[in-house]
Amino acid sequence: MTRSLPQSTGERYLEVEHGRLAYLDEGAGRVLVFIHGWPLNKETFRSLNTRLKHSFRCIAFDLLDIGNSRPVDGEAQLCFSRHAQIILDALDRLGVTKFCLIGQNSGGLIARMIADIARDRVEHLVLFNTELPNHIPPWLRLFQAMAKFPALAKITFRTSLRSRFLAKSPMAFGGCFVDKQKIFGTFFDDCAAPLLRDDERLFGALRFLDQMDWSTRFEIEDMHRGIAAKTHFIWGDKDKFFPLELALLAFEQFPNRGDFIVVENTKLLPYYEKPEFVASHMIRILG
Protein backbone atom coordinates (compact mmCIF):
# COMPACT_ATOMS: atom_id res chain seq x y z
CA MET A 1 0.00 0.00 0.00
CA THR A 2 1.33 3.48 -0.84
CA ARG A 3 2.47 5.38 2.22
CA SER A 4 1.29 8.98 2.63
CA LEU A 5 2.96 9.89 5.91
CA PRO A 6 5.21 12.98 5.97
CA GLN A 7 8.86 12.24 5.25
CA SER A 8 12.03 13.91 6.50
CA THR A 9 14.18 16.01 4.18
CA GLY A 10 17.44 14.10 4.62
CA GLU A 11 19.07 11.90 2.01
CA ARG A 12 18.27 8.21 2.29
CA TYR A 13 19.74 5.04 0.84
CA LEU A 14 18.59 1.67 -0.44
CA GLU A 15 20.87 -1.26 -1.10
CA VAL A 16 19.97 -2.55 -4.55
CA GLU A 17 21.53 -4.85 -7.09
CA HIS A 18 24.92 -3.47 -8.19
CA GLY A 19 25.15 -0.73 -5.55
CA ARG A 20 23.51 1.76 -3.19
CA LEU A 21 20.68 3.99 -4.40
CA ALA A 22 20.53 7.50 -2.91
CA TYR A 23 17.21 9.34 -2.83
CA LEU A 24 15.24 12.16 -1.26
CA ASP A 25 11.76 11.53 0.13
CA GLU A 26 9.78 14.63 1.10
CA GLY A 27 6.16 15.62 1.65
CA ALA A 28 2.93 13.64 1.74
CA GLY A 29 0.09 12.70 -0.58
CA ARG A 30 0.10 11.41 -4.16
CA VAL A 31 3.58 10.08 -4.98
CA LEU A 32 5.73 11.86 -7.56
CA VAL A 33 8.90 10.04 -8.67
CA PHE A 34 11.64 12.20 -10.21
CA ILE A 35 14.36 10.84 -12.52
CA HIS A 36 17.19 13.15 -13.55
CA GLY A 37 19.22 13.20 -16.75
CA TRP A 38 22.94 12.91 -17.51
CA PRO A 39 25.27 14.19 -16.08
CA LEU A 40 23.04 15.81 -13.46
CA ASN A 41 21.63 14.34 -10.25
CA LYS A 42 18.54 14.50 -8.04
CA GLU A 43 19.54 17.91 -6.65
CA THR A 44 18.35 19.60 -9.85
CA PHE A 45 14.78 18.97 -8.67
CA ARG A 46 15.20 20.57 -5.22
CA SER A 47 13.84 24.03 -6.08
CA LEU A 48 10.86 22.43 -7.84
CA ASN A 49 10.19 19.95 -5.04
CA THR A 50 10.38 22.70 -2.42
CA ARG A 51 7.21 24.02 -4.05
CA LEU A 52 5.57 20.62 -4.64
CA LYS A 53 6.18 18.80 -1.36
CA HIS A 54 3.34 20.68 0.33
CA SER A 55 0.91 18.96 -2.03
CA PHE A 56 2.68 15.69 -2.93
CA ARG A 57 5.14 13.13 -1.67
CA CYS A 58 8.24 13.75 -3.80
CA ILE A 59 10.79 10.95 -4.27
CA ALA A 60 13.90 11.92 -6.27
CA PHE A 61 16.51 9.26 -7.04
CA ASP A 62 20.16 9.46 -8.03
CA LEU A 63 20.51 6.92 -10.84
CA LEU A 64 23.17 4.30 -10.17
CA ASP A 65 26.68 5.56 -10.99
CA ILE A 66 25.49 9.17 -10.64
CA GLY A 67 25.53 11.53 -7.64
CA ASN A 68 25.52 9.66 -4.33
CA SER A 69 24.27 6.33 -5.74
CA ARG A 70 27.42 4.29 -5.26
CA PRO A 71 29.61 2.34 -5.04
CA VAL A 72 28.64 0.53 -8.22
CA ASP A 73 29.90 -2.89 -9.23
CA GLY A 74 32.42 -2.23 -12.02
CA GLU A 75 31.14 -5.24 -13.97
CA ALA A 76 27.54 -4.03 -13.99
CA GLN A 77 25.96 -3.35 -17.37
CA LEU A 78 23.50 -0.57 -16.62
CA CYS A 79 21.55 0.05 -19.81
CA PHE A 80 18.45 2.24 -19.75
CA SER A 81 16.07 -0.67 -19.23
CA ARG A 82 18.16 -1.92 -16.29
CA HIS A 83 17.96 1.50 -14.64
CA ALA A 84 14.18 1.39 -15.11
CA GLN A 85 13.92 -1.98 -13.36
CA ILE A 86 16.15 -0.82 -10.49
CA ILE A 87 13.88 2.19 -9.87
CA LEU A 88 10.81 -0.06 -9.93
CA ASP A 89 12.45 -2.45 -7.46
CA ALA A 90 13.28 0.50 -5.20
CA LEU A 91 9.67 1.70 -5.27
CA ASP A 92 8.55 -1.80 -4.32
CA ARG A 93 10.92 -1.66 -1.36
CA LEU A 94 9.43 1.70 -0.35
CA GLY A 95 5.90 0.27 -0.51
CA VAL A 96 4.85 2.55 -3.37
CA THR A 97 2.24 0.97 -5.62
CA LYS A 98 0.78 3.92 -7.56
CA PHE A 99 2.79 6.96 -8.61
CA CYS A 100 3.32 9.73 -11.12
CA LEU A 101 6.60 9.77 -13.05
CA ILE A 102 8.59 12.88 -13.86
CA GLY A 103 11.68 12.56 -16.08
CA GLN A 104 14.12 14.87 -17.83
CA ASN A 105 16.75 14.22 -20.52
CA SER A 106 17.94 10.58 -20.27
CA GLY A 107 15.80 10.29 -17.13
CA GLY A 108 12.80 10.94 -19.34
CA LEU A 109 13.64 7.90 -21.44
CA ILE A 110 13.99 5.77 -18.31
CA ALA A 111 10.67 7.15 -17.05
CA ARG A 112 8.97 6.08 -20.30
CA MET A 113 10.40 2.59 -19.94
CA ILE A 114 8.99 2.39 -16.40
CA ALA A 115 5.60 3.59 -17.67
CA ASP A 116 5.75 0.91 -20.37
CA ILE A 117 6.72 -1.87 -17.95
CA ALA A 118 4.42 -0.93 -15.04
CA ARG A 119 1.40 0.37 -16.95
CA ASP A 120 -1.14 -0.25 -14.20
CA ARG A 121 0.96 1.61 -11.59
CA VAL A 122 1.76 4.89 -13.36
CA GLU A 123 -1.02 7.47 -13.10
CA HIS A 124 0.66 10.39 -14.89
CA LEU A 125 3.85 10.74 -16.93
CA VAL A 126 5.44 14.20 -17.06
CA LEU A 127 8.35 14.67 -19.47
CA PHE A 128 10.68 17.63 -19.50
CA ASN A 129 13.06 18.12 -22.42
CA THR A 130 14.11 14.57 -23.25
CA GLU A 131 15.05 12.09 -26.01
CA LEU A 132 12.92 12.16 -29.13
CA PRO A 133 12.36 9.53 -31.84
CA ASN A 134 15.18 9.25 -34.42
CA HIS A 135 16.99 12.25 -32.95
CA ILE A 136 20.47 12.37 -31.41
CA PRO A 137 21.32 15.60 -29.56
CA PRO A 138 24.31 17.70 -30.63
CA TRP A 139 27.65 16.71 -29.08
CA LEU A 140 26.38 13.37 -27.78
CA ARG A 141 28.38 11.17 -30.16
CA LEU A 142 31.53 13.13 -29.25
CA PHE A 143 30.81 12.77 -25.52
CA GLN A 144 30.26 9.04 -25.86
CA ALA A 145 33.47 8.61 -27.86
CA MET A 146 35.40 10.50 -25.18
CA ALA A 147 33.86 8.36 -22.43
CA LYS A 148 35.77 5.37 -23.82
CA PHE A 149 39.01 7.15 -22.87
CA PRO A 150 38.41 8.16 -19.23
CA ALA A 151 41.79 9.82 -18.67
CA LEU A 152 41.32 12.11 -21.68
CA ALA A 153 37.68 12.75 -20.79
CA LYS A 154 38.67 13.66 -17.23
CA ILE A 155 41.10 16.35 -18.42
CA THR A 156 38.69 17.73 -21.03
CA PHE A 157 35.66 17.73 -18.75
CA ARG A 158 37.38 19.37 -15.81
CA THR A 159 39.15 21.96 -17.95
CA SER A 160 35.82 23.04 -19.42
CA LEU A 161 34.15 23.29 -16.02
CA ARG A 162 36.97 25.22 -14.34
CA SER A 163 36.73 27.99 -16.93
CA ARG A 164 33.65 30.20 -16.57
CA PHE A 165 33.87 30.94 -20.29
CA LEU A 166 33.96 27.26 -21.31
CA ALA A 167 31.35 26.28 -18.70
CA LYS A 168 28.92 28.60 -20.49
CA SER A 169 29.59 26.99 -23.89
CA PRO A 170 27.06 24.65 -25.58
CA MET A 171 29.43 21.71 -24.97
CA ALA A 172 29.24 22.28 -21.20
CA PHE A 173 26.24 23.79 -19.37
CA GLY A 174 25.47 26.60 -21.79
CA GLY A 175 22.81 24.46 -23.41
CA CYS A 176 20.96 24.14 -20.11
CA PHE A 177 20.06 27.79 -19.49
CA VAL A 178 19.03 30.89 -21.36
CA ASP A 179 20.34 32.89 -18.39
CA LYS A 180 23.95 31.68 -18.25
CA GLN A 181 24.44 33.13 -14.77
CA LYS A 182 22.25 30.32 -13.43
CA ILE A 183 25.11 27.92 -14.20
CA PHE A 184 27.08 29.34 -11.29
CA GLY A 185 26.01 29.20 -7.67
CA THR A 186 23.69 26.46 -6.41
CA PHE A 187 23.50 24.58 -9.72
CA PHE A 188 27.28 24.49 -10.10
CA ASP A 189 27.74 23.45 -6.46
CA ASP A 190 25.23 20.60 -6.79
CA CYS A 191 26.00 19.27 -10.28
CA ALA A 192 29.45 20.36 -11.44
CA ALA A 193 31.57 20.71 -8.30
CA PRO A 194 31.17 17.02 -7.25
CA LEU A 195 32.52 15.97 -10.67
CA LEU A 196 35.46 18.34 -10.30
CA ARG A 197 36.56 17.14 -6.88
CA ASP A 198 35.66 13.44 -6.89
CA ASP A 199 37.16 11.01 -9.42
CA GLU A 200 34.70 8.27 -8.50
CA ARG A 201 31.72 10.46 -9.34
CA LEU A 202 33.27 11.67 -12.57
CA PHE A 203 34.18 8.17 -13.76
CA GLY A 204 30.72 6.97 -12.75
CA ALA A 205 29.16 9.64 -14.97
CA LEU A 206 31.46 8.58 -17.81
CA ARG A 207 30.52 4.90 -17.36
CA PHE A 208 26.85 5.86 -17.43
CA LEU A 209 27.37 7.71 -20.70
CA ASP A 210 29.42 4.92 -22.24
CA GLN A 211 26.66 2.37 -21.53
CA MET A 212 23.85 4.42 -23.06
CA ASP A 213 22.26 2.39 -25.86
CA TRP A 214 20.95 4.88 -28.37
CA SER A 215 19.49 2.21 -30.64
CA THR A 216 16.49 2.66 -28.33
CA ARG A 217 15.65 5.89 -30.16
CA PHE A 218 14.35 3.78 -33.07
CA GLU A 219 11.89 2.05 -30.72
CA ILE A 220 10.62 5.09 -28.81
CA GLU A 221 7.64 5.77 -31.07
CA ASP A 222 6.20 2.28 -30.61
CA MET A 223 6.74 2.60 -26.85
CA HIS A 224 4.92 5.94 -26.83
CA ARG A 225 1.86 4.43 -28.49
CA GLY A 226 1.62 1.74 -25.81
CA ILE A 227 1.90 3.95 -22.70
CA ALA A 228 -1.41 4.10 -20.85
CA ALA A 229 -0.59 6.85 -18.33
CA LYS A 230 -1.87 10.35 -18.98
CA THR A 231 1.15 12.07 -20.49
CA HIS A 232 2.18 15.70 -20.23
CA PHE A 233 5.11 17.55 -21.83
CA ILE A 234 6.70 20.60 -20.17
CA TRP A 235 9.25 21.99 -22.61
CA GLY A 236 11.82 24.76 -22.76
CA ASP A 237 11.21 26.56 -26.05
CA LYS A 238 14.85 27.56 -26.71
CA ASP A 239 16.34 24.07 -26.29
CA LYS A 240 18.77 23.08 -29.08
CA PHE A 241 19.32 19.55 -27.73
CA PHE A 242 15.66 18.52 -27.97
CA PRO A 243 13.92 20.98 -30.31
CA LEU A 244 10.38 22.06 -29.54
CA GLU A 245 9.10 21.26 -33.05
CA LEU A 246 10.19 17.61 -32.69
CA ALA A 247 8.66 17.42 -29.21
CA LEU A 248 5.29 18.55 -30.60
CA LEU A 249 5.39 15.70 -33.11
CA ALA A 250 6.39 13.15 -30.44
CA PHE A 251 3.57 14.27 -28.14
CA GLU A 252 1.00 13.23 -30.75
CA GLN A 253 2.23 9.62 -30.45
CA PHE A 254 0.83 9.17 -26.92
CA PRO A 255 -2.73 7.82 -26.80
CA ASN A 256 -3.65 9.46 -23.48
CA ARG A 257 -2.45 13.03 -23.93
CA GLY A 258 -2.72 15.66 -21.26
CA ASP A 259 -1.13 19.11 -21.40
CA PHE A 260 1.74 20.37 -23.53
CA ILE A 261 3.18 23.33 -21.63
CA VAL A 262 5.77 25.54 -23.30
CA VAL A 263 8.02 27.36 -20.85
CA GLU A 264 9.11 30.44 -22.75
CA ASN A 265 12.69 31.66 -22.78
CA THR A 266 14.13 28.48 -21.21
CA LYS A 267 16.32 25.66 -22.54
CA LEU A 268 17.07 22.13 -21.32
CA LEU A 269 16.03 22.73 -17.68
CA PRO A 270 12.77 24.71 -17.73
CA TYR A 271 11.89 23.58 -14.19
CA TYR A 272 15.19 24.98 -12.89
CA GLU A 273 14.95 28.30 -14.74
CA LYS A 274 11.28 28.89 -13.85
CA PRO A 275 10.38 26.61 -10.91
CA GLU A 276 7.41 28.67 -9.72
CA PHE A 277 5.76 28.63 -13.15
CA VAL A 278 6.40 24.90 -13.64
CA ALA A 279 5.27 23.95 -10.11
CA SER A 280 1.97 25.80 -10.51
CA HIS A 281 1.21 23.89 -13.71
CA MET A 282 2.23 20.56 -12.18
CA ILE A 283 -0.07 21.11 -9.21
CA ARG A 284 -2.88 21.87 -11.63
CA ILE A 285 -2.38 18.86 -13.92
CA LEU A 286 -1.53 16.34 -11.20
CA GLY A 287 -3.48 17.57 -8.20
Name the residue ranges covered by the structural domains of the chain. 11-137+215-286
The residue among 234, 186, 246, 191 whose CA lies nearest residue 42 is 191
In three-state form (DSSP H/G/I as H, E/B as E, the rest C), the secondary structure along 196-231 is HHCHHHHHHHHHHHHCCCHHHHHCHHHHHHHCCCEE
Give the per-residue pLDDT at 146: 81
pLDDT for 79 equals 87
What does the pLDDT read at residue 143?
A: 79
By residue count, the chain amounts to 287
Q: Which CATH superfamily, name and number, covers 11-137+215-286?
A: Alpha/Beta hydrolase fold, catalytic domain (3.40.50.1820)
What's residue 218's pLDDT? 67
Query: Can you give the pLDDT of all 287 residues of the chain as single tens digits?
Result: 333 333 345 899 999 888 899 999 999 999 999 999 998 999 999 999 999 999 999 999 999 999 999 877 767 788 899 999 999 999 999 999 999 999 999 999 999 999 999 999 999 999 999 999 988 887 777 778 888 888 888 898 888 888 888 888 887 888 899 999 999 999 999 999 999 999 999 998 888 888 887 666 667 999 999 999 999 999 999 999 999 999 999 999 999 999 999 999 999 999 999 999 999 999 999 98
pLDDT at 263: 98
pTM score, two decimals? Answer: 0.92
Q: Using alpha carbons, select from 121, 47, 50, 135 the residue that is nearest to residue 84.
A: 121
